[in-house]
Amino acid sequence: GDIAAGKRVFDNNCATCHLGGDNAVVSSQTLKQEALEQYLFNYGTEHNVEAIVYQVANGRGAMPAFQGQLSNKDIVNVAAYVKDQSESGWP
């Protein structure tokens, strides 16, 4: 995925709830590595990016599904950005 393109997708579609990698709705379920490992199904395996892609495409709980709202390319790119930021510690 293209991380720079993914940042633009994130700023336009995700930052309302996930500014700085936090979660404004369910505060424990952040986009930080420890939370992803704890809460995101299939994370912490070799499927990290795919797990984020799945969450974004399908949504879960109070998070809306983005399949049909975003292109598959945008979803892959935003997942790459989230994974990169989770590893580098968010801003």
Minimum CB separation of residue 78 from ligand HEM in Å reads 5
CB-based contact 35:28 (threshold 8 Å) = yes
> ∠ CA(66), CA(8), CA(34), 5° rounding?
70
- Residues found in the chain: 91
Binding site for ligand HEM (CB under 6 A): 13-14, 16-18, 23, 25-26, 29-31, 35-36, 39-40, 52, 55-56, 60-64, 66, 78, 82
53: its two tokens: 């892609």
Q: How far is the CB of 79 from ligand HEM (least distance, A)?
A: 7
Closest approach, Cβ 51 to ligand HEM, in A, equals 8
